[in-house]
Chain A
Amino acid sequence: MNQRAPQGHNVVTQSLAQIGGCGLFLLTLLAAIPRSLRYFRETLRQLWFVGAMSLTIIMVCGLFIGMVLMLQLYHVLSIFGGTSASGLVVALAVYRELGPVVTALLFAGRAGTSITAEIGLMRATDQIDAMEMMAVDPIAYVATPRFLAGLIAMPLLACVFCAMAIFGGHLVGVTWLGIDNGTFWSNMTAVVDVHTDIVNGVLLKSLAFGAVVTLIAVYQGFTTPPTSEGVAYATTRTVVASSIAILALDFVLTAFLM
């Protein structure tokens, strides 16, 4: 595997070249999916690393975001006597935006960086070349299982994040600030729409974010110069590019799905 990051003359052409290279890499990844099915155990192993191992950070952050959101909303809504709607607003904010977006940003920081660093080091230590020489396709064995694992893990992690955020909101709103438990849940169930808020808001967005983050992470890993500095830059690029891509894609998806 001798992929190299495309080179350009300035920031704009370099960025365009990176996007083009990433697009071509996506096609290579998709074409390798049938071949990677025989590495199902590797996909499961990666699912454990990028999914299960990210659970703690996702759960803790979800809990605190739900708590702080409820705290802020309660104080603002109390001015207008609308504290009973706090739970509903927390739920809508979490389902529609914060759940998938914050999960994706955390996922990029936790799983994306580790994917890039791992593949980059594999390249630097000739492990990718060794696989090629053992007639094992590194795209099918290394890249695609990680891509598929990210694709599967992200919606699940976003669901866990949302559940923890609602729990955090409930903890602060009902247990601490005294909002009626029945009002908290009934307002939420009356307004939250499964299709618009859960399927489109959480699942579809997080699926798209999962695809983008893991694609960027794997691409950066495969194209990084095989040096310690190269791996460091590639890891940073994964976080920066993923964060921008997540927020830009969030706007586009929201505009289309609303």
Chain B
Amino acid sequence: MTDSARATPADSILVRVRGLTTVLGGKTIFDQLALDIPRGRITAIMGPSGTGKTTLLKHITGQMRPDAGEILVNGQNVPDMSREALYKMREGIGYLFQNSALLTDFDVFENVAFPLRQHTALPEVLIRSLVLMKLQAVGLRGAARLMPHELSGGMARRVALARAIVFDPQLILYDEPFVGLDPVALNQVLKLIRTLNQTLGITSVLVAHELAAVQQIAEHVFLIANGKVVAQGDPKSIAADGSPWTRQFFGGEADGPVPFQYPAGDYASELGFAGAAK
């Protein structure tokens, strides 16, 4: 258990992860991982590529079961949930996919209306009002009748965000929300995340690599590497932390605890020089 996890009151924790162990294809992704995500705040999860950040989000939403450990969302252990309970929980969670994952057969309006149509029997007038409100919030009310293939990457991300908040969820998970965005679109998404958190009090969990962007909005950062939380704290202090992990990750150093080379056999013997060396 981390120090901050022990110090935080239980009711202010929305997601509590304890002893999380995941092995995928023989590779240990998480090794007794423990972290707490506080309610109503913006938490960033950072780490080298392939360290399991998206996998952690999938564990929180129940899309993937861990090999061991607890993931408590609102006090309920996700791996133990029935399918019905899982779906009920997901109605209170918004998830922003890396590639937006808009339904390509539907236009922008119908994409945002989709969860409402599936889970409510609201009259069409009310659905229309709700969808237009959400689209207005992300600045895309005028694009309501565009098809997903007509949107730019940034616009698609904002439509996906409108869809993710259509039920006013208590938790939003953002998977790499800034990837591939130009500076204007990136700032728009940043502003939206901050506004949603401040105005609706939504708990936000952000998986991202962009330290500058994270520093602008996140209140707490977890740095994950080697299956564990190797550093955590507020964005400024964690970047200034002198540990080898933070120095390499935030300093962008090519060499350090995160190896440049993917694990491989002996280089010389693979090139056929093993005999010559002898």
Interface: B243 (CB within 8 A):
no
Partner of B99, one of A125, A133, A135: A125
How many angstroms between the C-alpha atoms of A134 and B119 in the bound complex? 9
- A126 touching B101 in the complex, CB below 8 Å, given contacts A135-B87, A135-B88, A135-B91: yes
Near B by CB (< 8 A), chain A positions 125-157 give 125-127, 129-130, 132-137, 141
How many angstroms between the C-alpha atoms of A205 and B114 in the bound complex? 38
Least Cβ distance of A100 to chain B in Å?
31
| A: contact size bracket | 10 to 19
Interface: A56 (CB within 8 A):
no
How many angstroms between the C-alpha atoms of A135 and B163 in the bound complex? 13
- A126 touching B97 in the complex, CB below 8 Å, given contacts A133-B61, A134-B118: yes
Partner of A135, one of B64, B97, B103, B119: B119
B63 and A134 contacting across the interface, CB-CB below 8 Å? no
Partner of B104, one of A2, A127, A132, A136: A127
Q: CB within 8 Å of A: which residues of B? A: 61, 63-64, 87-88, 90-91, 93, 95, 97-99, 101-104, 114-115, 118-119, 163
Measured between beta carbons, the chain A residues less than 8 angstroms from B61 are: 133
Residues 51-65 of chain A, each 1 if its beta carbon lies under 8 Å from chain B, else 0 = 000000000000000
Residue in B closest to A124 when the chains form the complex, CB atoms: B99
How many angstroms between the C-alpha atoms of A207 and B99 in the bound complex? 39
B63 and A133 contacting across the interface, CB-CB below 8 Å? yes
Least Cβ distance of A59 to chain B in Å?
27
What are the 4 closest A-B residue pairs judged by CB atoms, nearest first?
A126-B101, A130-B101, A135-B87, A133-B95
A129 and B91 contacting across the interface, CB-CB below 8 Å? no
Measured between beta carbons, the chain B residues less than 8 angstroms from A129 are: 63, 97, 101
Measured between beta carbons, the chain A residues less than 8 angstroms from B102 are: 127, 130
How many angstroms between the C-alpha atoms of A135 and B86 in the bound complex? 8
Q: Name 25 interchain pairs, CB-CB below 8 A, sorted by A.
A: A2-B63, A2-B64, A121-B104, A122-B104, A125-B101, A125-B104, A126-B97, A126-B101, A127-B101, A129-B63, A130-B102, A132-B63, A132-B90, A133-B90, A133-B95, A134-B90, A134-B115, A134-B163, A135-B87, A135-B118, A135-B119, A136-B115, A136-B118, A137-B87, A141-B118
